Protein backbone atom coordinates (compact mmCIF):
# COMPACT_ATOMS: atom_id res chain seq x y z
CA UNK A 1 0.00 0.00 0.00
CA UNK A 2 1.42 3.40 -0.98
CA UNK A 3 2.02 6.18 1.54
CA UNK A 4 -0.64 8.25 -0.24
CA UNK A 5 -3.24 5.47 -0.03
CA UNK A 6 -2.42 5.07 3.65
CA UNK A 7 -2.94 8.81 4.10
CA UNK A 8 -6.36 8.75 2.44
CA UNK A 9 -7.38 5.84 4.65
CA UNK A 10 -6.02 7.48 7.79
CA UNK A 11 -7.91 10.67 6.95
CA UNK A 12 -11.17 8.73 6.59
CA UNK A 13 -11.48 9.59 2.89
CA UNK A 14 -13.09 6.40 1.62
CA UNK A 15 -15.74 7.41 -0.92
CA UNK A 16 -14.30 6.50 -4.37
CA UNK A 17 -15.10 9.77 -6.15
CA UNK A 18 -13.69 11.87 -3.30
CA UNK A 19 -10.53 9.75 -3.27
CA UNK A 20 -10.14 10.43 -7.00
CA UNK A 21 -10.60 14.15 -6.32
CA UNK A 22 -7.80 14.11 -3.76
CA UNK A 23 -5.68 11.97 -6.10
CA UNK A 24 -5.98 14.67 -8.76
CA UNK A 25 -4.78 17.37 -6.34
CA UNK A 26 -1.86 15.21 -5.25
CA UNK A 27 -0.75 14.78 -8.86
CA UNK A 28 -0.93 18.55 -9.37
CA UNK A 29 0.90 19.51 -6.19
CA UNK A 30 3.61 16.87 -6.61
CA UNK A 31 4.40 18.34 -10.05
CA UNK A 32 4.60 22.04 -9.25
CA UNK A 33 5.87 21.80 -5.64
CA UNK A 34 7.95 18.65 -5.81
CA UNK A 35 10.27 19.35 -2.88
CA UNK A 36 7.49 20.66 -0.66
CA UNK A 37 5.30 17.66 -1.48
CA UNK A 38 8.14 15.25 -0.75
CA UNK A 39 8.69 17.01 2.58
CA UNK A 40 4.99 16.82 3.46
CA UNK A 41 4.79 13.13 2.50
CA UNK A 42 7.85 12.31 4.60
CA UNK A 43 7.08 14.43 7.64
CA UNK A 44 3.35 15.00 8.10
CA UNK A 45 1.11 12.65 10.07
CA UNK A 46 -0.76 10.50 7.55
CA UNK A 47 -4.25 11.88 8.34
CA UNK A 48 -3.16 15.48 7.67
CA UNK A 49 -1.40 15.00 4.32
CA UNK A 50 -4.49 14.96 2.02
CA UNK A 51 -5.85 18.15 3.60
CA UNK A 52 -2.56 20.04 3.24
CA UNK A 53 -2.41 18.87 -0.38
CA UNK A 54 -5.96 20.17 -1.01
CA UNK A 55 -5.19 23.57 0.57
CA UNK A 56 -1.98 23.85 -1.46
CA UNK A 57 -3.87 23.04 -4.66
CA UNK A 58 -6.42 25.77 -3.91
CA UNK A 59 -3.60 28.28 -3.39
CA UNK A 60 -1.88 27.22 -6.61
CA UNK A 61 -5.09 27.42 -8.64
CA UNK A 62 -5.75 30.93 -7.33
CA UNK A 63 -2.20 31.99 -8.19
CA UNK A 64 -2.62 30.78 -11.76
CA UNK A 65 -5.91 32.60 -12.21
CA UNK A 66 -4.53 35.85 -10.83
CA UNK A 67 -1.21 36.11 -12.62
CA UNK A 68 -1.50 34.20 -15.91
CA UNK A 69 -2.76 35.83 -19.12
CA UNK A 70 -4.29 39.22 -20.05
CA UNK A 71 -5.75 41.31 -17.24
CA UNK A 72 -9.37 41.04 -18.41
CA UNK A 73 -9.18 37.27 -18.63
CA UNK A 74 -7.54 37.03 -15.22
CA UNK A 75 -10.18 39.27 -13.64
CA UNK A 76 -13.03 37.29 -15.18
CA UNK A 77 -11.46 33.97 -14.22
CA UNK A 78 -10.92 35.05 -10.61
CA UNK A 79 -14.46 36.48 -10.29
CA UNK A 80 -15.94 33.18 -11.47
CA UNK A 81 -13.69 31.16 -9.17
CA UNK A 82 -14.41 33.36 -6.16
CA UNK A 83 -18.14 32.92 -6.70
CA UNK A 84 -17.73 29.14 -6.86
CA UNK A 85 -15.66 29.06 -3.66
CA UNK A 86 -18.19 31.21 -1.82
CA UNK A 87 -20.94 28.86 -2.92
CA UNK A 88 -18.94 25.97 -1.47
CA UNK A 89 -18.53 27.86 1.79
CA UNK A 90 -22.29 28.37 1.91
CA UNK A 91 -23.57 25.01 0.67
CA UNK A 92 -20.65 22.63 1.18
CA UNK A 93 -21.05 20.98 -2.22
CA UNK A 94 -19.58 21.49 -5.69
CA UNK A 95 -19.28 19.83 -9.08
CA UNK A 96 -15.59 20.75 -9.28
CA UNK A 97 -13.05 18.14 -8.04
CA UNK A 98 -10.78 20.74 -6.39
CA UNK A 99 -13.68 22.42 -4.65
CA UNK A 100 -15.04 19.08 -3.47
CA UNK A 101 -11.73 18.45 -1.72
CA UNK A 102 -11.86 21.96 -0.22
CA UNK A 103 -15.39 21.38 1.04
CA UNK A 104 -14.37 18.08 2.64
CA UNK A 105 -11.27 19.59 4.23
CA UNK A 106 -13.29 22.45 5.71
CA UNK A 107 -15.81 19.93 7.06
CA UNK A 108 -12.95 18.01 8.70
CA UNK A 109 -11.16 21.18 9.92
CA UNK A 110 -13.69 24.02 10.31
CA UNK A 111 -10.91 26.43 11.34
CA UNK A 112 -9.90 26.57 7.65
CA UNK A 113 -13.11 28.42 6.72
CA UNK A 114 -12.02 31.80 8.08
CA UNK A 115 -8.64 31.84 6.24
CA UNK A 116 -10.43 30.93 3.01
CA UNK A 117 -12.82 33.87 3.48
CA UNK A 118 -9.90 36.20 4.24
CA UNK A 119 -8.01 34.99 1.19
CA UNK A 120 -11.01 35.58 -1.08
CA UNK A 121 -11.51 39.10 0.25
CA UNK A 122 -7.92 40.28 -0.38
CA UNK A 123 -6.45 38.12 -3.16
CA UNK A 124 -7.21 40.63 -5.92
CA UNK A 125 -4.13 42.53 -4.69
CA UNK A 126 -2.30 40.17 -7.05
CA UNK A 127 -4.54 40.90 -10.03
CA UNK A 128 -3.03 44.20 -11.16
CA UNK A 129 0.40 43.75 -9.61
CA UNK A 130 3.32 44.97 -11.71
CA UNK A 131 5.64 46.28 -8.98
CA UNK A 132 6.03 48.30 -5.79
CA UNK A 133 6.91 51.91 -5.14
CA UNK A 134 8.63 51.35 -1.81
CA UNK A 135 9.09 48.90 1.06
CA UNK A 136 5.78 49.89 2.67
CA UNK A 137 4.03 49.05 -0.62
CA UNK A 138 5.66 45.61 -0.59
CA UNK A 139 4.67 44.98 3.03
CA UNK A 140 1.05 45.90 2.20
CA UNK A 141 1.14 43.27 -0.55
CA UNK A 142 2.42 40.65 1.90
CA UNK A 143 -0.47 41.42 4.26
CA UNK A 144 -3.09 41.48 1.51
CA UNK A 145 -2.01 38.52 -0.59
CA UNK A 146 1.00 36.47 0.47
CA UNK A 147 0.05 35.91 4.10
CA UNK A 148 -3.66 35.09 3.51
CA UNK A 149 -2.63 32.61 0.80
CA UNK A 150 -0.14 30.91 3.12
CA UNK A 151 -2.65 30.76 5.97
CA UNK A 152 -4.77 28.35 3.93
CA UNK A 153 -2.09 25.85 4.91
CA UNK A 154 -1.02 27.57 8.11
CA UNK A 155 -4.50 27.15 9.58
CA UNK A 156 -4.20 23.38 9.20
CA UNK A 157 -0.76 23.10 10.75
CA UNK A 158 -1.03 25.64 13.55
CA UNK A 159 -2.93 25.96 16.82
CA UNK A 160 -6.68 25.43 16.65
CA UNK A 161 -7.46 28.81 18.22
CA UNK A 162 -6.36 32.22 16.94
CA UNK A 163 -2.82 32.82 18.09
CA UNK A 164 -1.05 36.14 17.49
CA UNK A 165 2.52 34.89 18.00
CA UNK A 166 1.86 32.07 15.53
CA UNK A 167 0.43 34.41 12.91
CA UNK A 168 3.37 36.79 13.39
CA UNK A 169 5.82 33.92 12.87
CA UNK A 170 3.88 32.81 9.77
CA UNK A 171 4.16 36.36 8.48
CA UNK A 172 7.92 36.36 9.00
CA UNK A 173 8.15 33.08 7.08
CA UNK A 174 6.06 34.23 4.15
CA UNK A 175 7.76 37.64 4.08
CA UNK A 176 11.12 35.93 3.75
CA UNK A 177 9.81 33.37 1.29
CA UNK A 178 8.00 35.93 -0.87
CA UNK A 179 10.98 38.30 -0.98
CA UNK A 180 13.20 35.36 -1.91
CA UNK A 181 10.80 34.32 -4.67
CA UNK A 182 10.83 37.82 -6.11
CA UNK A 183 14.63 37.99 -6.28
CA UNK A 184 15.04 34.36 -7.34
CA UNK A 185 12.48 34.67 -10.16
CA UNK A 186 13.70 38.08 -11.28
CA UNK A 187 14.79 36.93 -14.75
CA UNK A 188 11.31 35.62 -15.57
CA UNK A 189 9.43 38.41 -13.83
CA UNK A 190 11.25 41.24 -15.64
CA UNK A 191 10.40 39.69 -19.00
CA UNK A 192 6.73 39.59 -17.95
CA UNK A 193 6.74 43.25 -16.89
CA UNK A 194 6.62 42.44 -13.17
CA UNK A 195 9.21 43.31 -10.57
CA UNK A 196 9.05 42.43 -6.88
CA UNK A 197 11.86 44.78 -5.85
CA UNK A 198 10.49 48.24 -4.93
CA UNK A 199 11.38 51.17 -7.19
CA UNK A 200 12.82 53.11 -4.24
CA UNK A 201 15.14 50.19 -3.50
CA UNK A 202 16.35 50.24 -7.10
CA UNK A 203 17.07 53.96 -6.72
CA UNK A 204 19.01 53.35 -3.51
CA UNK A 205 21.42 51.10 -5.39
CA UNK A 206 21.42 53.20 -8.59
CA UNK A 207 19.91 50.36 -10.62
CA UNK A 208 17.43 50.77 -13.47
CA UNK A 209 14.89 48.20 -14.62
CA UNK A 210 16.74 48.17 -17.92
CA UNK A 211 19.88 46.97 -16.11
CA UNK A 212 17.96 43.97 -14.83
CA UNK A 213 16.23 43.23 -18.12
CA UNK A 214 19.58 43.37 -19.94
CA UNK A 215 21.24 41.12 -17.36
CA UNK A 216 23.95 43.65 -16.54
CA UNK A 217 26.43 42.43 -13.95
CA UNK A 218 27.31 45.73 -12.26
CA UNK A 219 28.38 46.49 -8.67
CA UNK A 220 24.99 48.13 -8.07
CA UNK A 221 23.09 45.11 -9.36
CA UNK A 222 25.16 42.72 -7.24
CA UNK A 223 24.66 44.86 -4.12
CA UNK A 224 20.91 45.14 -4.81
CA UNK A 225 20.42 41.40 -5.18
CA UNK A 226 22.59 40.67 -2.13
CA UNK A 227 20.56 43.15 -0.07
CA UNK A 228 17.26 41.54 -1.07
CA UNK A 229 18.50 38.05 -0.23
CA UNK A 230 19.86 39.21 3.13
CA UNK A 231 16.48 40.78 3.94
CA UNK A 232 14.88 37.46 3.10
CA UNK A 233 17.30 35.54 5.30
CA UNK A 234 16.64 37.87 8.23
CA UNK A 235 12.90 37.17 8.04
CA UNK A 236 13.43 33.43 7.61
CA UNK A 237 15.69 33.29 10.66
CA UNK A 238 12.90 34.94 12.64
CA UNK A 239 10.55 32.23 11.33
CA UNK A 240 12.70 29.57 12.97
CA UNK A 241 10.51 30.06 16.03
CA UNK A 242 7.52 28.61 14.13
CA UNK A 243 7.94 24.95 15.16
CA UNK A 244 7.76 25.87 18.85
CA UNK A 245 4.34 27.48 18.27
CA UNK A 246 2.54 24.57 16.60
CA UNK A 247 1.37 21.08 17.59
CA UNK A 248 4.28 18.64 17.92
CA UNK A 249 3.27 16.36 14.99
CA UNK A 250 3.62 19.26 12.54
CA UNK A 251 6.92 20.65 13.79
CA UNK A 252 9.25 18.53 11.63
CA UNK A 253 7.64 19.71 8.39
CA UNK A 254 7.58 23.40 9.26
CA UNK A 255 11.13 23.30 10.58
CA UNK A 256 12.34 21.58 7.41
CA UNK A 257 10.54 24.06 5.13
CA UNK A 258 12.19 27.00 6.89
CA UNK A 259 15.61 25.34 6.55
CA UNK A 260 15.06 24.60 2.85
CA UNK A 261 14.11 28.23 2.22
CA UNK A 262 17.32 29.29 3.95
CA UNK A 263 19.28 26.87 1.76
CA UNK A 264 17.62 28.43 -1.29
CA UNK A 265 18.53 31.91 -0.04
CA UNK A 266 22.16 30.81 0.40
CA UNK A 267 22.16 29.46 -3.16
CA UNK A 268 20.68 32.72 -4.47
CA UNK A 269 23.32 34.74 -2.63
CA UNK A 270 26.07 32.59 -4.15
CA UNK A 271 24.56 32.94 -7.64
CA UNK A 272 24.69 36.73 -7.46
CA UNK A 273 24.06 38.57 -10.72
CA UNK A 274 23.60 35.22 -12.50
CA UNK A 275 20.07 35.37 -11.04
CA UNK A 276 19.33 37.70 -13.96
CA UNK A 277 19.73 34.66 -16.21
CA UNK A 278 17.95 32.07 -14.06
CA UNK A 279 16.93 31.14 -10.54
CA UNK A 280 18.97 29.37 -7.86
CA UNK A 281 18.06 26.03 -6.31
CA UNK A 282 19.13 24.58 -2.97
CA UNK A 283 21.73 21.78 -3.19
CA UNK A 284 19.90 18.48 -3.63
CA UNK A 285 22.11 16.48 -1.27
CA UNK A 286 21.87 19.08 1.50
CA UNK A 287 18.10 19.32 1.04
CA UNK A 288 17.76 15.54 1.38
CA UNK A 289 19.87 15.64 4.52
CA UNK A 290 17.52 18.22 6.03
CA UNK A 291 14.51 16.08 5.22
CA UNK A 292 16.06 12.86 6.52
CA UNK A 293 17.17 14.54 9.75
CA UNK A 294 13.66 15.94 10.20
CA UNK A 295 12.17 12.48 9.62
CA UNK A 296 14.48 10.93 12.21
CA UNK A 297 13.44 13.59 14.72
CA UNK A 298 9.80 13.01 13.87
CA UNK A 299 10.10 9.30 14.54
CA UNK A 300 11.85 9.97 17.84
CA UNK A 301 8.95 12.18 18.91
CA UNK A 302 6.26 9.58 18.17
pLDDT of residue 194: 87
pLDDT for 204-249, tens place per residue? 999 999 999 999 999 999 999 999 999 999 999 999 999 999 999 9
The pTM (predicted TM-score) of the whole model is 0.93
In DSSP notation, 196-233 reads -S-HHHHHHTT--HHHHHTT---HHHHHHHHHHHHHHH
What average pLDDT does this structure show over 95-117? 96
Question: Quick check: helix, strand or coil at residue 70?
Answer: coil
- Cβ atoms of 254 and 246 within 8 Å: the answer is yes
- Claim to verify: residue 220 and residue 300 sit in the same structural domain: yes
Report the alpha-carbon angle 147-179-280, nearest 5: 125
Average pLDDT, the chain: 94
Residue 300, Cβ density class (10 Å: 0-12 exposed, 13-18 middle, ≥19 buried): exposed
Residue 134 lies in a domain: yes
Q: Domain tally for the chain? A: 2
- Claim to verify: residue 274 and residue 161 sit in the same structural domain: yes
State which of 111, 142, 169 marks the end of a domain.
111
pLDDT for 28-74, tens place per residue? 999 988 889 999 999 999 999 999 999 999 999 999 999 888 888 99
Tell whether the model's pLDDT for residue 302 goes beyond 70. no
- How many angstroms separate the CA atoms of 122 and 78, rounded? 12
Report the alpha-carbon angle 268-274-278, nearest 5: 80
- Claim to verify: residue 105 and residue 164 sit in the same structural domain: no
What residues contact residue 87 under an 8 Å CB cut-off, 6+ apart? 94
Range of the domain at 100: 1-111
Phi, psi of 253 (to 5 degrees): -65, -50
- Claim to verify: residue 88 and residue 150 sit in the same structural domain: no
- Claim to verify: residue 96 and residue 227 sit in the same structural domain: no
- Cβ atoms of 212 and 221 within 8 Å: the answer is yes
Residue 263 lies in a domain: yes
Amino acid sequence: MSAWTESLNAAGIREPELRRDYDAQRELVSRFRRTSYLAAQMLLPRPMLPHVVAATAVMHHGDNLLDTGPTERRAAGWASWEQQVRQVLEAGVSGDPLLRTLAHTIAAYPRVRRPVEEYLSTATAELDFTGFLDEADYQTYVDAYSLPAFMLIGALLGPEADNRPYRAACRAFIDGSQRLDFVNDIAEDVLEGRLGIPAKTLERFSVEREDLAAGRDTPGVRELLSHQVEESRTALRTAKQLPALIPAPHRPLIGALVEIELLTANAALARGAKLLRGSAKPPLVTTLRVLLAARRNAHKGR
